[in-house]
Amino acid sequence: MHVLDALGNPVRRAIPQELRAGPLAVGEIAAGLPVSRAAVSRHLRVLEDAGLVEAREEGTRNIYSIRMQGFASVQTRPALVASVRPLEFYRNRPDVSINFSFHNFIALRAVENCDTAAGFDF
């Protein structure tokens, strides 16, 4: 799954926010979110598949942390943002295929607004 697809869901965007302070277990992440622990586990699996988080086993618990290398594909966000045409361009253009969902747009906007020295501020 592409990074922007993974970040297209509001819960999956909130998980890196929870992990900003440091590694957490699934239950600790779920405590800060309005979804069940099982749902958080599913979202973590998607984020892990996209390379955005990584897990390590500690006894019977999985401890998750942010994997900054996973965000490298969106680190060139100015070029990506500049390549997104205004919606007016696509109106009444049956010859143009749009393969960019609303969720991708929201994720792109979230990434576009990041501005720490490392290039990311969840």
Distance from C-alpha of 55 to C-alpha of 88, rounded to nearest angstrom = 42
The DSSP element (H or E) to which 89 belongs, if any, is helix 87-90
- Number of separate domains in the chain: 1
Residue 24 placed within a domain: yes
Distance from C-alpha of 79 to C-alpha of 90, rounded to nearest angstrom = 20
The pLDDT of residue 106 is 56
Residue 1 placed within a domain: yes
Q: Give, in order, the Cα–Cα distances in Å from 120 to each of 34, 42, 53, 73, 112.
A: 24, 24, 14, 12, 9
DSSP, collapsed to helix, strand or coil, labels residue 24 as strand
Is this model's pTM higher than 0.95 or not?
Answer: no
CATH code (residue 14): 1.10.10.10
Contact 102, 96 (CB under 8 A): no
Residue spans of beta strands (DSSP E) within the chain: 24-25, 53-58, 61-66
Tens place of pLDDT for every residue, the chain, 122 residues?
A: 778 888 888 899 999 889 988 999 999 999 989 999 999 999 999 999 999 999 999 999 999 999 988 877 765 555 444 444 555 555 555 555 445 555 555 555 555 554 443 344 44
Residue 66 placed within a domain: yes
Domain that holds residue 15: 1-115
